[in-house]
Amino acid sequence: MDTKYVFVTGGVVSSLGKGIISASLACLLKARGFRVTIQKFDPYINIDPGTLNPYEHGECYVTDDGHEADLDLGHYERFTNIRTSRANNVTTGRIYQSVIDKERHGDYLGKTVQIVPHITDEIKRSVRALGTTGRYDFVITEIGGTVGDIESLPFLESVRQLRWELGQNALCIHLTYVPYIAAAKELKTKPTQHSVKQLQELGIQPDVLVLRTEKHIGHDMRGKIARFCNVAPDAVVQSIDVDSIYKVPMKMHEQHLDEIVMRKMGVPVEGEPDMAPWTAFLHKLDGATEVVNIGLVGKYVELQDAYKSINESLFHAATYAGYKVKIHYIHSEKLKPENVGTQLGDLDGIIIAPGFGQRGIDGKFVALKWCREHDIPTLGICLGMQCMVIEYARDVLGLEDANSTEMDSTTRHNVIDLMEEQKSITNMGGTMRLGAYDCHLRPDSLAAKAYGATEISERHRHRFEFNNSYREALEAAGMQCVGTNPATGLVEVVEVPALRWFVGTQYHPEYSSTVLSPSPLFRDFIRAAIEFKHENENKH
């Protein structure tokens, strides 16, 4: 079968959940046995979100091949269990960069370089690049932003052209908002009508409308929307608020979104998607009543999107354990020896978050000392792991000024430092260790027990590393380096075996946790937290 291209656009307001709808459709198509991938176009000028502050765009997700990507790619992986890559996230900046590079290289043979056709051609090439690999039956392309934005225009123009070129192999799903006006007790369709008109003005007739709504949209109202928007009545689907994003695929399937898409693209509809493992997860979710309380110590507590993948990984792990997870966001800047007891005292497990820079770092040390002294299950991720090493070096080894050279470039005890080969690189985007790296685990470690393997691969995003000259001293003092990169000898995992569950990873296990294949490390962390909770309950 030819590769089918599905475009997902959004109207009326942002944050309607285009990423979740795209991921849900992909999830259903995959469960029907198709090979699917999802791609996100971001209309901003940054080359990638790597240099963006989390306050701007939430977490920066990292793909296996080391691309710093929009957090929607995390949803794609969590819903489809399919790995994404650099080709799955393209920004306006990247499009312009490659057009400008080609222009400098003389590739346009003296022509005037313009938005149409040169920028649009580059966008179209990026869409088709995934299809021409021959690896996918469906390429779902989510266009970031909202119809009417100046910056998404070249993307929408490219969609218009591609629909023309691809015929039945292209389809457009438009996601809009149907607000409920409480005073009038009515749902309103006008914003949807306007948004579709705006799309039509750009030459795009949507094939399917997905209506985000708080209240059920009845048959009559769907008929009205269909009539005004030139869309078949059965292709008007509602996306009603649900208590978990993971319920959206089933909601879409109940309204036959997968079938509608297939039928419109001439793909024979046979049987049903195999959603059994997915519904088993939802069953566990609905059956869970008891709560496990996890503290997340970090500096972006006001903005939970900053820790999106960690939140989701905890949620996957707790759900499979039959628990609800309550995440307590603990502001590392406000954590002091005086208040650590009240802040962490009632929690069942603590995560020390990743991060960059000095701000909030002291609170992480305070938290770690408390966790160690009270033997609370603790997982340190990236900067969290580096803090574990620093705190241990200071408090247990007695190296009072132990630090990372990221925080203090003149420290005498640089237990975390830049590696020689990185020191000469000054470009902020260029110095990071990014993407999946192999790690060898000591067979007797908690990590090896969790993964059920000694050879693993996980994704990284950091500049600084454990300084191996302190390895011997730390190990003699009880902190074991149980995971190392087989090629470079860099330390990837530390543990303190004298404690019940105290693990730090230089890598980010949260990037690879999906609904159907949850992170083993988070699973064991949550198990340890549940055990700890029960022990405490029995004591009282």
Q: Which residue shows structure tokens 């629909």?
A: 163
Q: Which two tokens stand for residue 17?
A: 């959940």
- How many residues in the chain? 540
Contact between 504 and ligand GLN by CB under 6 A: the answer reads: no
Q: Measured from the CB of residue 140, what is the shortest distance to ligand GLN in angstroms?
A: 29
Check 174, 440, 462, 508 and give the catalytic one: 508
Q: Which two tokens stand for residue 357?
A: 């820079």
Q: Interface with ligand GLN by CB under 6 A: which range of 5-13, 131-139, 145-153, 353-361?
A: 353-361
Q: Is 60 labeled as catalytic in the residue annotation?
A: no
Contact between 355 and ligand GLN by CB under 6 A: the answer reads: yes
CA-CA-CA-CA torsion sign (408, 413, 416, 417): positive
CA dihedral 153, 154, 157, 161 (to 10 degrees): -170
CB closer to ligand GLN out of 11 and 354: 354
CB closer to ligand GLN out of 269 and 425: 425
The correct pick among 32, 394, 462, 527 for binding ligand GLN (CB under 6 A) is: 462
Q: By CB under 6 A, what part of segment 356-415 binds ligand GLN? A: 356, 382-383, 406
Q: Which two tokens stand for residue 62?
A: 């990292």
Distance from C-alpha of 260 to C-alpha of 236, rounded to nearest angstrom? 10
Distance from C-alpha of 535 to C-alpha of 375, rounded to nearest angstrom? 12
Q: Measured from the CB of residue 281, what is the shortest distance to ligand GLN in angstroms?
A: 28
Geometric angle at alpha carbon 190, from 187 and 196, rounded to 5°: 125
Distance from C-alpha of 27 to C-alpha of 30, rounded to nearest angstrom? 5
Gap between the terminal Cα atoms of the chain = 63
CB closer to ligand GLN out of 3 and 332: 332
Q: Interface with ligand GLN by CB under 6 A: which range of 22-30, 110-118, 204-212, 348-356?
A: 348-356
Q: Is 382 labeled as catalytic in the residue annotation?
A: yes
Q: Interface with ligand GLN by CB under 6 A: which range of 191-199, 226-234, 360-368, 455-463?
A: 455-463
Q: Interface with ligand GLN by CB under 6 A: which range of 2-10, 144-152, 440-448, 460-468?
A: 460-468
Distance from C-alpha of 156 to C-alpha of 165, rounded to nearest angstrom? 14
CB closer to ligand GLN out of 228 and 356: 356
CB closer to ligand GLN out of 142 and 510: 510
Contact between 464 and ligand GLN by CB under 6 A: the answer reads: yes
The correct pick among 86, 194, 256, 463 for binding ligand GLN (CB under 6 A) is: 463
Chain centroid to CA 463: how far? 20
Chain centroid to CA 327: how far? 17
CB closer to ligand GLN out of 361 and 450: 361
Residue 319 CB contacts under 8 Å (≥ 6 apart), including other chains: 281, 284, 285, 288, 325
Contact between 466 and ligand GLN by CB under 6 A: the answer reads: no
Q: Measured from the CB of residue 433, what is the shortest distance to ligand GLN in angstroms?
A: 8
CB closer to ligand GLN out of 265 and 382: 382
Q: Is 508 labeled as catalytic in the residue annotation?
A: yes
Residue 446 CB contacts under 8 Å (≥ 6 apart), including other chains: 482, 495, 497, 501, 503, 524
The correct pick among 43, 58, 354, 380 for binding ligand GLN (CB under 6 A) is: 354
Count of other CB atoms within 10 angstroms of residue 374: 16
Q: Interface with ligand GLN by CB under 6 A: which range of 73-81, 171-179, 194-202, 461-469?
A: 461-469
Q: Measured from the CB of residue 351, what is the shortest distance to ligand GLN in angstroms?
A: 12
CB closer to ligand GLN out of 349 and 384: 384
Site string for ligand GLN, 111-130 (x = CB under 6 A): --------------------
Q: Which residue shows structure tokens 């543990």?
A: 495
Q: Measured from the CB of residue 398, what is the shortest distance to ligand GLN in angstroms?
A: 24
Farthest-apart Cα atoms in the chain, separation: 80
Q: Measured from the CB of residue 463, what is the shortest distance to ligand GLN in angstroms?
A: 4
Q: What is the DSSP letter of 115?
A: I
Cβ contact 517:507 at 8 Å: no
Contact between 308 and ligand GLN by CB under 6 A: the answer reads: no
Q: Measured from the CB of residue 465, what is the shortest distance to ligand GLN in angstroms?
A: 7
Q: Interface with ligand GLN by CB under 6 A: which range of 96-104, 156-164, 186-194, 350-358?
A: 350-358
Q: What is the DSSP string of 250-305?
A: HHHHHTTHHHHHHHHTT----S----HHHHHHHHHHHH--SEEEEEEEES-TT-GG
Count of other CB atoms within 10 angstroms of residue 489: 11
CB closer to ligand GLN out of 74 and 144: 74
In sequence order, the β-bridge partners of residue 90 are: 41
Check 27, 60, 229, 382 and give the catalytic one: 382
Distance from C-alpha of 307 to C-alpha of 61, rounded to nearest angstrom? 10
Q: By CB under 6 A, what part of segment 21-40 binds ligand GLN? A: none
CB closer to ligand GLN out of 4 and 508: 508
C-alpha Rg value of the chain to the nearest Å: 25
Q: Please give the single-letter amino acid code of residue 51.
A: T
Q: Interface with ligand GLN by CB under 6 A: which range of 22-30, 343-351, 434-442, 459-467?
A: 459-467
Q: Which two tokens stand for residue 457?
A: 């691969």
User: Which residues are tagged catalytic?
Assistant: 382, 508, 510
Q: Which residues in this chain contact ligand GLN in the complex, by CB under 6 A?
A: 354-356, 382-383, 406, 461-464
